[in-house]
Amino acid sequence: MFTLLKQEAMKAWKQNRVYIWAIIAFVLPIITLTSFTPMASQATMYGSLGGSSIIVTIGMLVLTALSFTQEFTFGTIRPLLSRQYSRLQIFLAKIITVIVEYFLLIVFSLAGTAIGRLIYRAMHDGSTEKIYTTYYTSLDWKAFLFALLMSFIGSLFVMAIVLLVSNIAKSSAAAISLGVVILVATNILSAVTSALIQLWAPLKWNPLTVQNVVSYYTGTSDFNKTIHSYFGAGSWVLFVVYGAYVLVMYALAYWIFNRRSV
């Protein structure tokens, strides 16, 4: 298994060029925060990681789709399966690799945001601006990092959908497109499902609504009360249901991968 993980890491580096995504995710927030973001908008831009959150998201979708589709496109799946590894081991190695890649992109983006923030504060640390700079660049690191963690957890479901589609359609473009639609159109889909919930209350537990709530979960008592009021259950139930959805999606993705002919 360790050998498989090493091979997947090499593919990510040499074939999928994950380092390019990492460099962009690191450099973009530094440039954006120091050169293009006014003081009053600094704190807002931190929430989007200095504008690099879109790079991290698209990178996650692309790397996830390519990890499977390229094996069949280039014909490398045959020699891989001819070795002593099972399809389950190959599947798990790829899942672990793409999750680590996604996590590293977030880390690089976070580092770029933190450095951009420090540089901006140093550039505007004059005696007449210091008070305003400190105010507009203040950051609650605990809440900020928790929000990143929940966004990461919420994205695991989208990654599973991308894996599922990439194995069904055998197309990375189709998988990436669907992933982007799900992320971008979440609010629209939530509005549609809200209307349907009026007809049948259990629809509130649909996977897209659950994933959306998990992604924006803050952990505050007010948010927990809102969850209880809407779902009629505690937040722990919501996370159990979400975990079940994620496991089912990955299980379906593996089932399709296991049945694909080479």
The residue ranges of every structural domain in the chain are 2-259
Highest mean pLDDT among 5-9, 28-32, 70-74: 28-32
pTM of the model: 0.86
Span 128-138, pLDDT tens digits: 666 667 777 88
Residue 115 is predicted with a pLDDT of 95
How far, in Å, are 154, 225, 257 from residue 72 at the CA level? 28, 48, 11
Please state which of the ranges 18-32, 53-67, 125-139 shows the lowest mean pLDDT: 125-139
- Angle CA 181–185–189, to nearest 5: 120
CA separation for the pair 250, 164 (Å, rounded)? 8
The model's confidence at residue 78, banded by pLDDT at 50, 70 and 90, is confident
Span 23-33, pLDDT tens digits: 999 999 999 99
Residue 126 is predicted with a pLDDT of 63
